[in-house]
Amino acid sequence: MRYFFLIYALIIVFVVSTFGFRGDKFKKPPIRIFPDMDEQDFVKAQKPSDFFKSGVAAQQPVPGTVPMGHSKEVTAESELRGYGNKETYLHTGRLNEINYGKGFPAELELDQPENVTALLTRGHEVFGFKCAICHGASGNGEGTVKANGFVAAISNLRETKLVEGNIYDVVVNGRGNMGQMGSDLPLYDRWAVVAYVKAIQASAKADYTNPKIKEIFDAGSKK
């Protein structure tokens, strides 16, 4: 037993002589077994630095940086790229607490053909990775989920009678077996899905016996 106490005393002497008592000061930096990011590499402003391509330590803020104490100016574009919590038609798809709106918000500026093309293109992309697994690529409700028997019935979007505002509300808040996607999609992407669903419905009603319509369809299917 005396050897145990002797070894124990030697260990204490070793620890104290190596690490010192709490609060002791040393000429050399302390040994930290777990540094916990107490010391990190840094650069000195206005000094050369080989780390950056420009050779300068002080770098310009990245584009879009907002100084502390300031707020970023809200523009039409930034509004659409955000998630929003306002009570406008753009944010809710409702005209009031009861009625859904028909048509698309003016903020999308769909009176310009290039904006229509961009919205439908984005809608096709978002529909592909968020909706097609359940509703099918064509929106007929025959997606992978139903094919594997996970859900008995899934809405056929080609036949839905919902107006644009109602479809938007379903995308944002979900309905039935469908979960909400509002937290995943910014305003623009939500309305892009609505636009694509409406395009699917229009294509289902198209008269493909009309040579001009068939020509447009064949040209689009080859892209």
Task: Point out the residues of the chain with pLDDT beneath 50.
Answer: none
Residue 160: which domain range?
87-221
On whether residue 23 sits in a domain, the answer given is no
On whether residue 155 sits in a domain, the answer given is yes
On whether residue 180 sits in a domain, the answer given is yes
> Which residue type, as a one-letter code, is found at position 25?
K
On whether residue 36 sits in a domain, the answer given is no
The predicted pLDDT at position 220 comes to 55
The tens digit of pLDDT for each residue in 55-79 reads 888 888 888 788 888 877 777 788 8
| Cβ 171 vs Cβ 91: under 8 Å | no
The predicted pLDDT at position 67 comes to 85
> Which residue type, as a one-letter code, is found at position 141?
G
The predicted pLDDT at position 219 comes to 62
CATH of the domain at 155: 1.10.760.10
The predicted pLDDT at position 111 comes to 94
Q: How does DSSP assign 25-89, residue by residue?
A: --SSPPP-SS-TTSS-----TTSB-SSSTTSBSS-PPPTT---TT--PPP-HHHHHHS-----SH
Classified as helix, coil or strand, 100 is: strand
On whether residue 19 sits in a domain, the answer given is no
On whether residue 144 sits in a domain, the answer given is yes
Domain count, the chain: 1
The predicted pLDDT at position 223 comes to 52
On whether residue 63 sits in a domain, the answer given is no
The predicted pLDDT at position 217 comes to 61
Give the C-alpha separation, 159 to 161, whole Å.
6
On whether residue 95 sits in a domain, the answer given is yes
